[in-house]
Amino acid sequence: MNFDYINERIARLRINKDVSQREMSLDLGQSIGYINRIENKKALPSIPMLHYICEYFGITLKDFFDDGIEYPVLLNELIEEEKDLDEQNILTLLSLAKQLNARKSKK
């Protein structure tokens, strides 16, 4: 496994969440430079800490390691929102997603 993926994925998710390395480190109960060391490939999080990092971003470990999902936080938010929709609205949302994907593939 390429461990650089872990460092880079944390950096991308943090930037997408628009939080500083310092803020994220402190939010996780770690030293100020904790996330900086990870993103600069000087350290890797432990497995329990990686689980906490995923919780911080609102994603699962599966989402974290699925590099096919570029915006896992937004995708999970969308899934949470659709849970309360009725069948017709879910079908409408599905149709819209298919149309957007079709447009994307034409470009």
**Per-residue pLDDT, 70:** 77
Q: What is the pTM of this model?
A: 0.74
Most distant CA pair in the chain: distance in Å?
50
DSSP state of 28: T
The alpha-carbon radius of gyration of the chain (Å, integer) is 17
Which helix (H) or strand (E) element contains residue 24? helix 21-27
Question: For residue 47, what are the CA distances in angstroms to 5, 38, 53, 75, 87?
Answer: 15, 13, 10, 23, 39
Report how far apart, in Å, the C-alpha atoms of 1 and of each of 20, 22, 42, 64, 98 are: 27, 28, 17, 14, 33
Higher pLDDT, 101 or 54: 54
pLDDT tens digit sequence for 55-90: 999 999 999 998 777 788 888 888 888 888 899 998
Instruction: Give me the CATH code for the 1-66 domain, please.
Output: 1.10.260.40
Is residue 1 within 8 Å of 8, Cβ to Cβ?
no
